[in-house]
Amino acid sequence: MNERILISGASIAGLTLAHWLARHGFRPTVVERDPAPRAGGNGVDIRDDAVTVMERMGLMSRARELAADVHGMKFVDAADRAVARIDTRDAGSVEIMRGDLVALLREAAGDAEFLFGDSIRALEQDDDGVTVSFEHAPARRFDLVIGADGMHSNVRRLAFGPEDGFIRHKDHYFAFADADAALGEDRWVTMFNTPGKMAGIYRSGNHAQAKAYFVFRSARLDYDHRDVAEHKRLVGEAFADQPWAPARGLLDAALADPGFYFDALAQVHMDSWSNGRVALAGDAAWCASPASGAGAELALVGAYRLAGELAAAGGDHRVAFARYDAAHRPLVDRKQQIGPNVRLMVPKTDGGRCVRDTLVRLPLLKTAEAVERRLRARTARPLPNYHRAA
């Protein structure tokens, strides 16, 4: 029942889902707009249940070998002197470059069929399945369709409506791009602030290349989310006049990088992640924003649960989609509470920056994190080991 499953998006959620669906005996097909999985981005965290998912996929030891081994965040003044540091190392989690994680997941999803360089044009549901037309490939029938195609999900637009109804803007924009490693300190994320802006450099312990990182505060901007030249213009204008010497080199490298990644810092909120035979996973369903530090964790755990619930329900999508929503939503709700994370990285004023620098010198943040972790460990329920119903 419901064996042919189309997934839109070959990133963290889509590839994890493809792996688990194939393992549970379904026949997944993945359609990805780009000619190959997109490799860009900074380090992402694999923690808690996401570690269990990666272990069950047989990928965790390789993820540990590839770990970015970043020690923490360092805030600098205009003369490039460190004014405060936060040690973010956490024995329970592994930080890995997003591109490395995507490559591991792509390998693990080898049993799926892939359609690269294509996108869904239209979806028509009926009682028995979904007729899908593509931009390039001929139309096909599938039993179910899953949108794992990111914050600006095409599947969500086609099956649930325009994105304005679901996206909550968080007053900032961010960009990631390649940068010269010589501009930053090894194994630290170096950040420089002016009011409402942050220019930074992310240096993993295991990569020759570093990543430039920019965030700026802004009311909602009107631009095409697929127009990279326009994204570069916005970031170029926002960071043209930084008094921090490395900022110029970071900006030049970023603007020259064809893999430049830019988006609004925003969240996706939906009352339900399914509509008939169509469901969503990952940022398409619940984007918590990079400020949550939980995008990869939510995508890995959510995709694992969605495939598992489909298997446990013998492919019955009505039962499975409802159980998936109920099981995964509490974690999403918790991770969407991003609290002061953005203010910490991008203070609005010089006064706010001074307060931030003082606060991060105190051991408060570590203590609060440790208390939260202990509370969570006490209430956590083990991640189910799903089996296919006969």
Ligand X SMILES: Cc1cc2nc3c(=O)[nH]c(=O)nc-3n(C[C@H](O)[C@H](O)[C@H](O)COP(=O)(O)OP(=O)(O)OC[C@H]3O[C@@H](n4cnc5c(N)ncnc54)[C@H](O)[C@@H]3O)c2cc1C
Contacts to ligand X by CB under 6 A: 8-14, 31-34, 38, 40-42, 44, 98, 119, 148-150, 154, 176, 261, 282-284, 290, 295-296, 299
Cα of 207 vs its chain's centroid, Å? 20
Cα of 136 vs its chain's centroid, Å? 27
**CA nearest to 29, candidates 6, 46, 62:** 6
Q: CB of 32: closest distance to ligand X in angstroms?
A: 5
Query: 10 Å Cβ neighbour count for 322?
Result: 16
| Long-range CB contacts (within 8 A, 24+) of 150-154 | 150/9, 150/11, 150/282, 150/283, 150/284, 150/287, 151/263, 151/264, 151/266, 151/268, 151/283, 151/284, 151/287, 152/225, 153/8, 153/9, 153/280, 153/283, 153/284, 154/8, 154/33, 154/119, 154/120
Task: Name which of 83 and 177 has its Cβ closer to ligand X.
Answer: 177
Task: Name which of 17 and 312 has its Cβ closer to ligand X.
Answer: 17
Whether the CB-CB separation of 332 and 288 falls below 8 Å is answered with: yes
Q: CB of 282: closest distance to ligand X in angstroms?
A: 2
Q: CB of 387: closest distance to ligand X in angstroms?
A: 25
Q: CB of 182: closest distance to ligand X in angstroms?
A: 21
Residue nearest ligand X by beta-carbon distance: 282
Task: Name which of 73 and 296 has its Cβ closer to ligand X.
Answer: 296
Q: CB of 56: closest distance to ligand X in angstroms?
A: 18
Task: Name which of 88 and 119 has its Cβ closer to ligand X.
Answer: 119
Q: CB of 274: closest distance to ligand X in angstroms?
A: 16
Task: Name which of 152 and 317 has its Cβ closer to ligand X.
Answer: 152
Task: Name which of 34 and 77 has its Cβ closer to ligand X.
Answer: 34
Task: Name which of 17 and 83 has its Cβ closer to ligand X.
Answer: 17
Query: 10 Å Cβ neighbour count for 339?
Result: 9
Half-sphere exposure (Cβ direction) of 344: Cα atoms closer than 13 Å: 16
Q: CB of 333: closest distance to ligand X in angstroms?
A: 17
